[in-house]
Structure formats: structure tokens, C-alpha cells
A and B are shown apart, each in its own frame.
Chain A
Amino acid sequence: MAVTHAPTAEAVPEPGSGLMGWLTTTDHKRIGILYLINSFAFFVVAGVFALLMRTELARPGTQVFAPHAYNQLFTLHGTLMIFLVIFPLLAGFGNYFVPLQIGALDMAFPRINALSFWLLPVGGLTILSGFLVPGGAAAAGWTGYPPLSEQLGTGQDLWIAGLVLVGTASILGGINFIVTILRMRAPGMTMMRMPIFTWSILATSLLVVLAAPVLTAGLLMVFSDRQLGTVFFDPSRGGVALLWQNLFWFFGHPEVYMLILGAWGVVTEIIAVFSGKPIFSYRGVVLAFLLITALSFSVWAHHMFATGAVELPFFSITTELISIPTGVLFFIWLATMWRGKLRFEPPMLFALGFIAMFLIGGIDGVWAASPAMDFAIHDTYWVVAHLHYVLFGGTLFGVMAAMYYWFPKMTGRMLGRRLGIWQFWVQIVGFNMTFFPMHILGLRGMPRRVADYPPDLGWSFLNLFASVGAFVIAVSMILFFTNIFLSLRKPKTAPDDPWGANTLEWATTSPPPIHNFDVLPQIHSDRPVRDLRIQREGGGS
């Protein structure tokens, strides 16, 4: 590597102050924080939608929301959670920490970075603005299957427009991450010394760049059918309704990994740090990530077993194969903890919760991977349980771990430990109360996406139980936001490296200066900050 000097302060423009400074910033750290603020704002909106849905489903019959309203609620809950909460949360952490973890000054294209952030709130508000138009917001589910999505009103057009904006943003962001990671690493930061989180963002970005454009193409086809009179998905005029599902899931299954890889990355690092040991097999994690990235393009039609129109054995075996590298990750996490010295700080608690819950989401997916069984549970609450164990039990627990882990680096303040532990326990109890019973509901035949259900099928109690659980989750989130609020009022007392961590972001101050590093340490391994710590301790004694 030719660059031998640390990036210097002169290379970076001074940040503007005040609101304008934030609105016009191209600093990856500020953009990262904007991502997080934006994501948590949409998280509150989409979470409230979920509470409203659970309120309606608490009892059979229609109490609060008629089907038309309910259909909009679950459509926007799914759309916002996936496209404007979970993915941007991981992208936000990526924005803040990838340049720090590889010792770069900023992202490769700072202005494009700002653009890809600002497209997100615009896209999200476009989707939400559907509530203001006649006929209401989009109501065809987050999967937007035509011909249904071609029947509905203007809200559906706004949904398409919003998703095209968000998709474009993520493609630009993905390109930015890849170029940053491949071209801007500090001297000594070889690929195989990069933090695992950076690897996970690299894999995510590859998926985004190759899969998201397929969704954009499909959305444009629906839009053209709706507005220009073309026939892509209109079977009465020569179109093929199933075409959408192939395009959508070709994007949609890699999307699942876009939503989880980042969480795997940060959890892997947290487990190593709080066990006081290196990652048991760094190469194994990287290999698993790359295998999953490659395989994720070959499993899409397992979402379509019940159509009777796909090659069942092929997509069944690829789906089961992808569970192998996923299983490897579990072994590596456990082996990393094995004979370690575990510290149960809030980041570690959430990481452990992640392993325990994501395991369930991985295992219950095995039933759905077998086509004969999938015929029974596809489109039932089993699937709702499964996807929430992956995206909530998995990613959101991982995001919480990341928040507690990195908050001191981002703000210079620690998040409250007691409140964090309380949040963890309330959250894990509420989560399991809400989503575990959904497995049983699915086995008993309750379809997903229903605004109502008959009282005489034995579904009522479990639904009520799940609804109570949803409000327990809400309590845990109130604890979380309270914790953030209280911490932000305290003085900036967090040390540079409060956790005894490994990766480069902990070598700079908390929060980092605008140019990221005053002095960049020598990088000889995948744990440069630990090397530095040992060097100092060795020098001191």
C-alpha cells in the first residue's frame, strides 16, 4: 500500500454548525447518525402500526379497524420495517463504523453518501403519504403481488415511487461501501484483517448492488401496467401474474440476508470482545458470509412452493444448503465463548439474546424449507413467527447490541447499564410472548394478513396472548428510548475504549474527531486495538 501517512486534518472541511450543518453534511459519521435517527423514527411509526394490528387481533371480530384500514396497517408495517428501519439501521452503523474500522478518512464518495441518505426519508414519507390520498395507503402487503397491486388506488403508486427511491438509495450506498472497503483501507489493513462487521457490510453491499435493481425493474413494470396500460402482469391480456413473484423474490431472498448479515457481523465482534477471546475462526465467518451471499441468489422460489409452478426439489435443497454456513456461524459463536471470560454488559446480553432467538428463527425455517410441509404452513402465522424470529429476534436484538456497544463511541456517553439490562429482559419476554404462539396459530391453520378470524377455531387465546406480548415489547422500547434520552443529558465521560475492544474504531476518541484519527495505529492483525493495549501494558510494567 502506497499511503503510509495517517489521514490528516487538513484534508477534511470543517463541519458546519447547527441544523444546516447536519442537513448539508457529507461526513460519514454525521450521515450514520442521521440514518439511525431516521430509522428509529420510522421504527416508532411502524411499531405503532404493529400495536394497532395486535389490538385489532386481540379478539375475534372487528373492534377497532375495519379490513380496509387493517390492510393498510400491515402493508405499511412490513414495508417500513424492512425498507426504512432494519436495512437503514444496519446501513447507518455501516456508514459510521466502516470507515473507522478500516482506518479511512470518510466514505469513497461523500456526496453520493449524503444523497443516498436523503433519498430515504423522502421515499419513506412518499410511502406514508398514501394515507392522505383518497383510497388510502398501499394495501397489497409488503410483497405487493399483482394483479392485486394493480387494482388498488393512488396509495399503491406512492408505495412504488417510495420504494424506487429507497432502492436507488441503497444501490448507491452499496456501491459506496464496496469502493470504500476495497480502496480506502489504511496501510496494513488487509482484507483478512478487516473487522467482521466490515466484512458483513461488504457482503450486504454485494447483495444490494446485484439484487435491488431487480426489485426496481419489477416495480417499474407494475407502475407501467398501472399508468401506461402495459400488460406485464395482466393475464387477461397476455401478461404473467407469477412473473412478479420470481422477480420480487429474486430480490427478496437476498434481501433477507441484507437484513441479517450486518447483525451477524456486529454480534460476532461483540461476542469476541465480551468473551475476552479472538473470534474462534475468523476465516470460517468470512467463508460462511461469502457462501451465504452466493447461495442466497439460488433460493428465491422457496417463497413460491405453494404456487405449484416452481422446481420444488431444487429450491428445497438450495434452501437447506444455505442453513449449513448459517449453522457454522452458531458453532463459531459458541466456540468463541468457550473457555472465555464472559462479561454480561448490555451489548453482550443482547448478543446472547440474538443467538438464542435467531436460532429459533433458523430452525423453524427448516420446516418451511421442505415443500410438503411448506404446503401446510406457507402463508400462515408460522411464517409470521419465523420471519419475526429472524428479523426481530435476530436483527433487532443485534441492532440493540450494536446500539449499546457503539453508543459511547458515537456520542461520548455510555448508555445506562441498569436500564439496558431491564430493557433486555422485558424485550426478550415480550418478544417470545408475541411471536412464539404464532407458530401454534400457524399449525392450527390461521392464515397471515387477516384482519379478522372466526371465534370458534381455537385461535382466540393465543392471539390475545400475542397482543399482550406486543405491548410488553412496547414497554421495552420505551425503556430503550428513555435510556437514550437520559444518557444524552449526561456529560461526555465515555472513555475511548470502554469495552476493551479489538477493532480500529476504538483507537480514536469518543466521539471521533471530524478527520477520524489523530494517529492511526500500526495494523498487524485483525485486532489492532488489542495489540496496542497489550503493547502499552507491556511497556508500563
Chain B
Amino acid sequence: MAQSVRSRPPRASGRLRRIGLIALLFLTGCAKEGISPTAKDVHQLYTVIMILALPVFIGVEALLIWCVIRYRRRDTAAPAPVQSVGGNRSLAVFFAIPAVIVAILFPFGEQTLMKVQQTAAPLVQIHVEGFQWEWTFLYLNEGIFVSGKTATDTAPEQPAQMYLPVDEAVQIDLTSRDVIHSFFVPDLLFKRDAIPGRDTSFTFTPTTLGVFHAQCAEFCGLWHSHMTFDVHVVSSADYQAWILQERKASASVTCQPNGTQLALIAHNISWNQNCLAVPANKPFTVSITNEDAGIQHNFSIYDSFFEKQQFYTSPKLTGVASETLNVDGLPPGHYYFQCDVHGPAMSGSFIVAKPGGG
């Protein structure tokens, strides 16, 4: 894990103060430093709460230990202690002390919250979809997407890779295709739930280069613990290079029609093919085999992963099962197919070739 250099503590005058600072650094060092300005604010909030909480903790535990040592009964024959009880005044003090702490604490928390919730005009806008049990990142402006592959009994997950240019504002638009997930990057000190039927957005600006582990934080079923992804914060040049490379990779996917009978197998939440082709304007059949027990898949054809226009969609098929779909002929062009349950993570190119064309 890349970590930023810890900011130098202010010049300490006394030795005692230095020891105090070291102790505080030790306690706050447990929390992640953060890789964005807002994350650093949250880290600071952690420290502020620690500064308020630690005296309370030490004070109460010390009083407790004091009582245990000082007021233990040494002599069984000694007379009963004074039967003193408190009046309204001491009760008022008991209420006032925590009330003062809350009155100090709450504004600090709100201040940090406002910073965390600030939005900035983003350079990069990523549509993030959680699905069981991986992630898809759609870079809508750049026209590319990346998906992870879910873990299975036989293979570990292939985490989705998110590339971000350093020092640029990023907006994440988050949703889920099935159950509730949570987009959690520990080094951002932030998470947001990905909720089906609901879109939510947040922005942040990563300022530290490095690769950061991230994963789903809301329990989402079987492979929840393997729903990981990696956040790469890279230089602007590296980011552009990555975009170009991804574009090239998706453009290079192509295939030729071979009759009007297509076959497609869904296994471990992946299709066995990433490209299908048919001749133009001729009805065709797609036989779908869903080998994933208890998991639903379907087959849909769109213009592209933007899903602006839908040309065909089938009902969901719960595995293990198979069916043959009859699809009307399509005009020539470059289309896109996917399983709507899992989205771009289970997708490919759908090519309708011109008649007579090569």
C-alpha cells in the first residue's frame, strides 16, 4: 500500500508535549492516512474524536481503578460507609459534562461532513455497477468499460481495475444490478452503498499515486468476501495510455457470421464467447445454456453498452437450464449483447454483417 509522507507535527516545545504527541500519533496511526484531501479531513476528524474521547476513557477508568484501590473494604468490622446520595446539583453536573463534549464534537463532525460531501466539477465520471460478485466501471465519456470476474469454487476472482488520474476530481455514479453492495475504498476513508433501484453520486480527488485495495463492504451473499477491486491512481499520461489501450482492446474484438444458429454458454457468470455474428436481415436463433445453478441469466441485444436502444431481450433463465431464442433479423451494423442480470461483465460484440460482405 502506498502511503503518503506523514505531515510533520508542529514544533513541540516541551518534552512532555513531545511524548504526548508521539502517543497521539501512535493512536491515530491505526487509522488510514487517506489518499485524498477529504480523506485526510476524515483522518483529522478521527484524531479530534480521539483527543476528546481519550481523556474521558482515561478519566473514567482511572476513577474506577481509584475506587477499587482506595475504597476496598479492609476491615469487615468497620462501620458502614456514609449513606450519601447526590442531589439535583450533582445530577446536573453529570448531565452537563457529556453535553459539553457533544456540543464540541458535533460541529467538528458536521464540518468534516460538509467537506466530504462537497462536489467538484469532475474530469472523470465513472458509472459503477455492483453485481454478485464483482464490479463494472463504465467510463461513459471515454467510451470504455472494465469488469471484474467473480470468484468461483475453482478460481479466485479477477478484481475489476479502476484507473484514475492523479489530482483530478472523479465523480462516481453508483448503482447495483441485484442486491445491496457497498463501494468501499479503505484508503479514501469512504464508502457508499450501491443500492438496486437507486442512483447515488459522490466525488473525490485522489492525490496519492499507487494501487489501493478496495472491496464490497455490504454483505451481498456467497462470494461477498471476494468482491474486490483495485484502484490505480496514476499520472495523467499513464491514464491516457490506459484509456487508449482499453479502447484498442475492445475495438479489436470481431468475428464473422457462420449461419443463423448461434450457441452461447453461461458458466461462472461469464459467456463462453465475447463476439457473435449473423448475416443481415435474416431471422436467427440463439440457444442459451445456463450452467450456473440457481443463478439467473438472460440475453439482450443493444446498440452499445450505453443501452440507448434495445433490439432484443429474453426473459430470465434460472440455471441449470437451456433454451433456444428466436430473434428477428437486424440491419447490418455493430451491436452489443449482454446478460442484463450481470450487465457489461457478461457482454460481447454482436456483429450483423452486410450481405455478401467479407
Contact = CB atoms under 8 A, between A and B. Distances in A.
The answer to whether A and B touch in the complex, with CB atoms under 8 Å apart, is yes
A320 interface: yes
Contact of A366 (B105, B115, B179): B105
B112 A147 contact: no
B49 A373 contact: yes
B353 interface: no
A443 B30 contact: yes
Contacts of A308: 192-193, 200, 202
A443 B110 CA distance: 21
Contacts of B153: 66
Given A328-B95, A341-B81, A309 B186 contact: no
A369 B46 CA distance: 12
Given A284-B91, A327-B98, A335 B86 contact: yes
B220 interface: yes
A150 to B, nearest CB: 9
Contact of B224 (A325, A344, A366, A449): A449
A495 interface: no
B161 to A, nearest CB: 15
Contact of A356 (B64, B106, B190): B64
Nearest to B175: A235
A43 to B, nearest CB: 24
Contacts of B251: none
Contacts of B57: 359-360, 363
Interface residues of A, number: 91
Contacts of A378: 191, 217
Contact of A372 (B45, B91, B228): B45
Interface in A313-365: 313, 316-317, 320-321, 323-328, 330-332, 334-335, 337-344, 352, 355-356, 359-360, 363
B326 interface: no
Contacts of A66: 153
B58 to A, nearest CB: 10
Contact of A306 (B71, B115, B192, B219): B192
B237 interface: no
B32 A445 contact: yes
B83 interface: yes
Interface in B44-71: 45-46, 49, 52-53, 56-57, 60-61, 63-64, 67-68, 71
Contacts of A140: 219, 221
B335 to A, nearest CB: 24
Interface string B12-41: 000000000000000000111000000001
B192 A344 contact: no
A283 B98 contact: no
B155 interface: no
A447 B215 CA distance: 8
- Which residue among B41, B219, B225 has the maximum number of chain A CB atoms within 10 Å of its CB? B219
A494 interface: no
B85 interface: yes
B129 to A, nearest CB: 14
Given A275-B81, A367-B49, A444-B30, A327 B97 contact: yes
A451 B225 contact: yes
A334 B192 contact: no
Contacts of B73: 276, 341-343
A416 interface: no
A145 B216 CA distance: 15
B99 interface: yes
A509 interface: no
B221 A363 contact: no
A344 B76 CA distance: 12
Residue among B60, B83, B116, B153 with the highest chain A CB neighbour number at 10 A: B60
B84 A277 contact: yes
Contact of B68 (A148, A236, A342, A359): A342
B49 A277 contact: no
A370 B189 CA distance: 13
Contact of A376 (B93, B95, B190): B190
Given A338-B67, A445-B184, A330 B84 contact: no
Nearest to B159: A454
Contacts of B46: 367, 373, 376, 443
Given A281-B85, A309-B200, A378-B217, A370 B30 contact: no
A372 B225 contact: no
B91 A328 contact: yes
Q: Which among A236, A309, A331, A344 has the greatest number of chain B C-beta atoms within 10 A?
A: A331
B182 interface: yes
A359 B65 CA distance: 13
A325 B102 CA distance: 12
A279 B153 CA distance: 59
A152 B52 CA distance: 44
A307 interface: yes
A452 B226 contact: yes
B61 to A, nearest CB: 6
A450 interface: yes
A338 B83 CA distance: 11
B193 A306 contact: yes
Nearest to B97: A327
A148 B219 contact: yes
B223 interface: yes
A324 B217 contact: no
Contact of A67 (B191, B217, B225): B225
B195 interface: yes
Interface string B89-123: 01101110111011001101110110110000000
B81 A324 contact: no
B187 interface: yes
Interface string A442-486: 011101111111100100000000000000000000000000000
Contacts of B84: 277, 280, 339
A323 B73 CA distance: 32
A339 B81 contact: yes
Contacts of B110: 313, 316
A148 B220 contact: yes
Contact of A447 (B45, B115, B197, B216): B216
A275 to B, nearest CB: 7
A375 interface: yes
Interface in B211-262: 213, 215-226, 228
Contacts of B94: 281, 284, 327-328, 331-332, 335
A444 B83 contact: no
B198 interface: yes
Interface in A143-161: 145-148, 151-152
B2 interface: no
Contacts of A450: 224-225
Given A277-B83, A313-B110, 16 more contacts: A276-B80, A279-B85, A281-B85, A308-B202, A323-B102, A326-B98, A327-B94, A327-B97, A330-B60, A335-B94, A340-B67, A343-B73, A356-B64, A366-B105, A372-B116, A453-B225
Interface of A: 66-68, 71, 139-141, 145-148, 151-152, 235-236, 239-242, 275-284, 287, 306-309, 312-313, 316-317, 320-321, 323-328, 330-332, 334-335, 337-344, 352, 355-356, 359-360, 363, 366-367, 369-373, 375-376, 378-380, 439-440, 443-445, 447-454, 457
**Shortest beta-carbon contacts, A-B, top 7:** A235-B197, A445-B186, A327-B98, A370-B109, A450-B225, A376-B189, A341-B73
12 contacts: A67-B223, A147-B178, A151-B221, A278-B83, A279-B85, A280-B84, A308-B200, A326-B98, A327-B94, A344-B72, A379-B182, A451-B225
